A and B are shown apart, each in its own frame.
Chain A
Amino acid sequence: MSCFPGPLVIVGAGLAGYTLAREFRKRAPDQAIVVVCADSGCQYSKPALSTAMAHGQQADDLVTATAADMADRLKIVVRNNTRVDAIDASAHALCIGNERFQYGKLVLATGAEPRLPVLEGNATAQLLSVNHLQDYRRLRQQLDHHVNPRPRLVIAGGGLVGCELANDFAQAGVDVDLVVAGEQLLSGALPAPIVQRLQERLEHAGVVCHLNRQVQGLHRHPQGLLVGLDNRQHLPAQCLVAATGLEPETRLARSASLTLGQRGITVDRYLQTSDPDIYALGDCAEVDGHSLMYVKPLMACAKALAQTLSGEPVMVRYEAMPVTLKTPAMPLRMALPARSAPGQWRIAENSQGFRAEYRNTEGRLLGYALTDGRVAEQSELDSQLPDFF
């Protein structure tokens, strides 16, 4: 018994695509589900890329299932290594070369691509990123095969991913330079004493932090590469990794003239795009104006969308979503207030660590940050946070 005529077709085999397939399969045991993906369709944990060194894992160790495994387990068809050229929305079809592949309902789960700095030099093609297992594999190959005892890695970007990677590689004995465009780590989203303590701990772990700096060039060098900064300083290194943000993938959405938001494909709380038979979720989607590239909102969307597609429309609900920074040098858990919420940070420190609270004028808790031993205080604070929507 099908929930609607035709197959459910999902473009993208990341966490969003496969979780949606899994959740929909629970509700629709017999309906055809086809996942189409440009990559190999291997299942892996993207968050685990930031701690793989510390856990002694290579890229292949992070693969938990192949596309064939997923097809088997979920009773779906996975068309991997297949790039979709465009959507013909009026024909309800995907254009794959000369093929017109019909869908009943279409879900875009194409994720986001790394935003890369524009560089000058003769080695710009060597710039790496770490948003995908394939990129990570390349990074590890470049570092692991290095002949010198201590390879050197330059990371551009002092946000969540940049700080986690810096810690992970420094712990593994790699010399790390972290180049940060702003005055502080984590884009100044947290009170200064906390990000300054994080910086001190990272430096103690062997990370050299360059604040108010940007990478400008990448050049060949006898021992590998030479990274040029915007102050004319040059850092010899084996690799340069960009962790400078993510851009939602909207190429296919544009081919169908779907409405796009500031950051991603515009969807409502039913995850529906401007086309009634096309939905989107995960890093590529802007849900009711929010672009939250984390696991928790993705999971909430996958479950809600599966229910909606099975004939019981339900609006996704975003609970508060605290984030734990995976930096062993300084355990840090934070819930950031919505950008538009006026309020103030109050920060306290004891022998156990920092506790910072962001409250509005009525004293309502809208955000927090906890470090070191005080991370345990999260349970008391989590219960006070409002839902996103």
Chain B
Amino acid sequence: MKRWQCVVCGWIYDEAEGAPDEGIPPGTVWADVPDDFLCPDCGVGKADFEMIEVL
């Protein structure tokens, strides 16, 4: 499972954890997160997320 980071504010999306508060269940890979998903911390769109290395 991979981790993605919002390039604008640093919020991390961890595929294993999902984002349950935003309606994204644990285990949801990034490609399956809806296109209109917004970063919960800063509001930028999915297109602005970049992938970071799995730690």
Same complex: yes
Q: How far is the CA of A47 from the CA of B50 in the complex (A)?
A: 15
Set of chain B residues within 8 Å of A382, measured between Cβ atoms: 21
How far apart are A240's CB and chain B's nearest CB, in angstroms?
Answer: 26
Q: Do A296 and B10 touch (CB < 8 A)?
A: no
Whether A299 contacts B42 by the Cβ 8 Å rule is: yes
Selected from B7, B21, B41, B50, the residue in CB contact (under 8 A) with A296 is B41
Interface residues of B in 40-55 (CB under 8 A from A): 41-44, 50
Does the CB pair B7–A48 fall under 8 Å? yes
Question: Are A324 and B41 neighbours in the complex by a CB distance under 8 Å?
Answer: yes
Q: In the complex where A295-B42, A299-B43 touch, is A45 in contact with B8 (Cβ < 8 A)?
A: yes
Residue of B nearest to A62 (CB): B7
Considering only CB atoms, which chain A residue lies closest to B6 in the complex?
A: A45
B-side contacts of A47, CB under 8 Å:
8-10, 42
B41 CB contacts on chain A under 8 angstroms: 295-296, 322, 324
Q: Looking at chain B, what size class is its interface with the partner chain? A: 10 to 19
Q: Contact between B43 and A15 (Cβ–Cβ < 8 Å)?
A: no
| Chain A, interface residues (CB within 8 Å), range | 10 to 19
- A322–B7 CA distance with the chains assembled, in angstroms: 18
Instruction: Count chain B CB atoms within 10 A of each CB in A45, A51, A294, A322 and give the residue with the most.
Output: A45
* B window 1-54: CB within 8 A of A: 7-11, 21, 38, 41-44, 50
A300-B39 Cα distance, complex, nearest whole Å: 12
> What 1/0 flags go to A288-331 for Cβ under 8 Å of B?
00000011100110000000000000000000001010100000
A379 contacts partner chain B, Cβ-Cβ < 8 Å: yes
A287 to chain B, nearest CB (A): 15
A367-386 contacts to B (CB < 8 Å): 379, 382
| Complex: chain B residue closest to A23, CB-CB | B45
Asked if residues A300 and B8 are in contact (CB atoms below 8 Å), the reply is no
A322-B11 Cα distance, complex, nearest whole Å:
13
Report the Cα distance A300→B50, complex, angstroms: 21
**A34-56, CB under 8 A of B: which get 1 and which 0?**
00000000000101100100000
Q: Is A344 an interface residue (CB 8 A)?
A: no
Residues of A within 8 A of B38 (CB): 299
Cβ of B8 and Cβ of A51 under 8 Å apart?
Answer: no
User: Counting CB contacts under 8 A, is A64 at the interface?
Assistant: yes
Q: Judge whether B7 and A45 touch: CB under 8 Å.
A: yes
A19 — which chain B residues lie within 8 A by C-beta?
Answer: 44
A residues within 8 A CB of B50? 64
* B7–A295 touching, CB < 8 Å: no
User: Residue among B7, B38, B43, B44 with the most chain A CB within 10 A?
Assistant: B43
Nearest neighbor of B44 in chain A, beta-carbon distance: A299
Q: Which residues of B contact A296 (CB under 8 A)?
A: 41-43
Residues in A with CB closer than 8 Å to B42 are 47, 294-296, 299
Q: How far is the CB of B2 from chain A (nearest CB, A)?
A: 17
Asked if residues B44 and A51 are in contact (CB atoms below 8 Å), the reply is no
- Assess the A45–B9 pair: CB atoms within 8 A: yes
| A45 CA / B49 CA spacing, docked (Å) | 12
Residues in chain B near residue A300, CB distance under 8 A: 43
* Bound-state Cα–Cα, A45 to B9, Å: 7
A295 x B8 contact (CB < 8 A): yes
Looking at the assembled complex, report how far the CB atom of A239 sits from the nearest CB atom of chain B, in whole angstroms. 24
Given the interface contacts A295-B43, A295-B44, A296-B43, does A51 sit within 8 Å of B21 by beta carbon?
no
Can you list 16 A-B pairs with a CB-CB distance of less than 8 A?
A15-B8, A19-B44, A47-B9, A47-B42, A51-B10, A64-B7, A64-B50, A295-B8, A295-B9, A296-B43, A299-B38, A300-B43, A322-B41, A324-B11, A326-B10, A382-B21
The 5 closest A-B pairs by CB, nearest first: A299-B43, A295-B42, A379-B21, A296-B43, A47-B9
> Which residues of A does B touch, CB under 8 Å?
15, 19, 45, 47-48, 51, 64, 294-296, 299-300, 322, 324, 326, 379, 382
Q: Given A45-B7, A48-B8, 18 more contacts at CB 8 Å?
A: A15-B8, A45-B9, A47-B8, A47-B9, A47-B10, A48-B7, A51-B10, A64-B7, A294-B42, A295-B8, A295-B43, A299-B42, A299-B43, A299-B44, A300-B43, A324-B11, A326-B10, A382-B21
